[in-house]
Amino acid sequence: MSDERQKAIPLLVLISAPSGGGKTTLCNQLLAARPDMTRAITCTTRPPREGEQDGVDYHFLDAASFLKRVQAGNFLEHATVHGHSYGTLKSEVLGKLRSGKDVLLNVDVQGASAIRQRAETDPEIARALVTVFLTPPSMTILEERLRRRGTDSDAVILKRLSVARSEISQWKNFDYLLISQSVAEDLRRMQAIVEAEKMKAARSLSPEF
């Protein structure tokens, strides 16, 4: 039997989670496990940190250039976080999908909503898009994770938990709900989602009989 993967239209896999939910870890694990998948490089107006490279870690833009792209409708989603703007370029995503690569997006709930809205009027995005919401089993566990980081004050943690409650309430808007367990189990189930989506008849290319 051939071990060749089933040929299918590339996926745009969107993973969202509350702060401390583990989406960055899951995204890194998924990218390491799937050489056929690449992440979309985000644009930002924040200055590069030590070791970061333009076009590799981020597309670094000044505020005026970012605003021009917003006004031109170039972004699938964009937001301002801690005084800096971030956005995902439609050209970045479509370019990689058209080259045959699955594309991974790591975005917050607000960004996920914007991309779902764009998919309603863009058949190419709609056909590729798969949305997954990752969340810890309980607020208690989420609070434990945030406190274990040791980087935030009690006030910041309480604010993050308040935002998380609002974000978690939107889980029904996603295609899949992934309740986090271990890193290995989260990756196993995420891989299962990707493989199942690739086998959907609507995305499969005509088999050769």
Residue 203 has pLDDT above 50, yes or no: yes
Residue-level pLDDT at 121:
92
The residues, any chain, with a CB within 8 Å of residue 203's CB and separated by 6 or more, are 8, 9, 11, 127, 197
Partners of residue 6 on adjacent β-strands: none
How many Cα neighbours within 13 Å face the side chain of 57? 12
Nearest CA to 97 out of 209, 199, 11, 161 is that of 11
Asked whether 195 and 130 are in contact (CB, 8 A), the reply is: no
pLDDT at 1 over 60: no
Which pTM does this prediction carry?
A: 0.84
pLDDT at residue 116 greater than cutoff 80: yes
Residue 3: pLDDT band with limits 50, 70, 90 = very low
pLDDT digits (tens, 9 = 90+) for 18-73: 877 788 899 999 999 999 999 999 999 999 988 899 988 899 999 999 999 999 99
Residue 137 binned pLDDT confidence (cut-offs 50, 70, 90): confident
- pLDDT, averaged across the chain: 88
What is the domain partition of the chain in residue ranges?
12-198
In CATH, which superfamily holds the domain spanning 12-198?
P-loop containing nucleotide triphosphate hydrolases (3.40.50.300)
